[in-house]
């Protein structure tokens, strides 16, 4: 793992190479084979993941009643497809709060390299250098805010489509 690999991720915007290097030392590289699960929705999570190479699919389970008996269909819905050049992080929600569970599943669509930093190491760095911690947490807030805005737009589109279906 090197600083150049991490500079491209939004979480490290406005950080110097020296500041990014604090994280580089704690990020563990992990390899995943094609079709291997990287994380599963509902499982405990305590790390943030950086997609360094490859392509992944992020899914959420859909729980639908499929008949009058209330039988549940727990199919997964493709939520987003991500490539390394998208410079995405996943699992950032698990950094906040206690006993957080993964909110989605991620699966390797091809051989992938992922960098992972656990919650304890992440916050030790932030606590030992308040300026770095402020910058990184500000960046994570921006990332989560963008995802929330995008989700709100998706909900609005779905609500509109559903309303039109019901009206007809």
Q: Which domains does the chain have, with CATH numbers?
A: 3-167 (2.60.120.10)
Alpha helical stretches, state H, the chain: 3-7, 17-24, 119-128, 130-167
pLDDT in tens, the chain (168 residues): 789 889 999 999 999 999 999 999 999 999 999 999 999 998 999 999 999 999 999 998 876 545 566 555 556 566 678 888 889 999 888 888 777 889 889 999 999 999 999 999 999 999 999 999 999 999 999 988 988 898 888 888 888 888 888 887
Tokens of 3: 């600083």
Choose among 133, 148, 121, 150: nearest CA to 11: 133
């Amino acid at each position: 793992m090197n600083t150049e690999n991490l500079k491209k991720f939004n979480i490290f915007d406005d950080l110097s190479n020296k500041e990014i290097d604090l994280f580089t030392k704690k990020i563990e590289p992990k390899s995943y084979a094609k079709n291997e699960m990287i994380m599963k929705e509902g499982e405990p999570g305590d790390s943030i993941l950086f997609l360094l190479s490859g392509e992944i699919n992020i899914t959420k389970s859909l729980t639908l009643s499929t008949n009058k008996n209330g039988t549940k269909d727990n199919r997964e819905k493709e939520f987003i497809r991500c490539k390394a050049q998208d410079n995405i992080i996943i699992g950032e929600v698990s950094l906040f709060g206690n006993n957080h569970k993964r909110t989605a599943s991620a699966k390797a669509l091809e051989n992938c390299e992922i960098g992972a930093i656990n919650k304890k190491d992440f916050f030790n760095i932030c606590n030992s250098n308040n300026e770095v911690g402020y910058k990184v947490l500000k960046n994570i807030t921006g990332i989560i805010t963008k995802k929330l805005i995008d989700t709100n737009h998706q909900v609005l589109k779905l609500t509109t489509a559903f309303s039109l279906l019901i009206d007809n």
